[in-house]
Amino acid sequence: MPENDTSTGERTRRAVLGDAHVDRTEVARTDFDRDFGAFITEYAWGGVWSRPGLDRHTRRLLTLAILCAQGNEEEFVMHVKAALADGVPPEELKEVLLHTAVYAGLPRANRAFALAREVLDAAGEG
């Protein structure tokens, strides 16, 4: 497993979410949530997302499916935007959501389709 370090996590986080998103998030940090942000960067981005067992594209699709299944709308939208910016085609996003509908439920997938469609429309890909 890669070392859990902030620099690896920061590089991975920026590669997955984009500099603009990370910069906005960091500017908004306060003393209250700064340690939590460092924790996420070190363990989620530096530990899990940086592991060699799955490529980043697969991790991205898994993340979208899990966020859809859990109903985590803000995180889902953020990751849809990042996926599109990284070249994930809308057709592939659609397949992930269809597959998730079978295993996580139609209401969650229905909502995820609506959210993804809003992101696609805003990006001119809808």
Does the pLDDT of residue 2 top 60, yes or no? no
Q: Report if residue 1 sits inside a domain.
A: no
> Which pTM was predicted?
0.90
Number of separate domains in the chain: 2
Q: Are residues 70 and 101 in the same domain?
A: yes
Q: 1 pLDDT band (50/70/90 cuts)?
A: very low
Q: In 3D, which of 42, 47, 36, 52 has the Cα closest to residue 10?
A: 42
Does the pLDDT of residue 125 top 50, yes or no? yes
User: What average pLDDT does the segment 69-77 reach?
Assistant: 97
User: What average pLDDT does the segment 88-96 reach?
Assistant: 97
| Helix and strand element counts for the chain (H, E) | 7, 0
Q: Are residues 33 and 77 in the same domain?
A: no
Q: Are residues 22 and 72 in the same domain?
A: no
pLDDT of 126 reads 74
Q: In 3D, which of 35, 109, 107 has the Cα closest to residue 67?
A: 109
Q: For residues 59 and 78, what is the distance between their CA atoms, to the nearest angstrom?
A: 15
* Tens of pLDDT, residues 111-123: 999 999 999 999 9
Which domain range does residue 74 map to? 56-122
Q: Report if residue 28 sits inside a domain.
A: yes
Q: Are residues 78 and 109 in the same domain?
A: yes
Q: For residues 72 and 86, what is the distance between their CA atoms, to the nearest angstrom?
A: 21
Which CATH number is 103's domain given? 1.20.1290.10
How big is the chain, counted in residues? 126
- Most distant CA atoms of the chain, gap in Å: 42
User: What average pLDDT does the segment 32-40 reach?
Assistant: 96
User: What average pLDDT does the segment 62-88 reach?
Assistant: 97
Q: First and final CA of the chain: distance in angstroms?
A: 39
* Tens of pLDDT, residues 93-116: 999 999 999 999 999 999 999 999
Q: For residues 108 and 10, what is the distance between their CA atoms, to the nearest angstrom?
A: 31
Does the pLDDT of residue 85 top 70, yes or no? yes
Q: For residues 76 and 66, what is the distance between their CA atoms, to the nearest angstrom?
A: 9
How high does pLDDT run on average in the chain? 94
CA dihedral (19, 25, 39, 30) positive or negative = positive
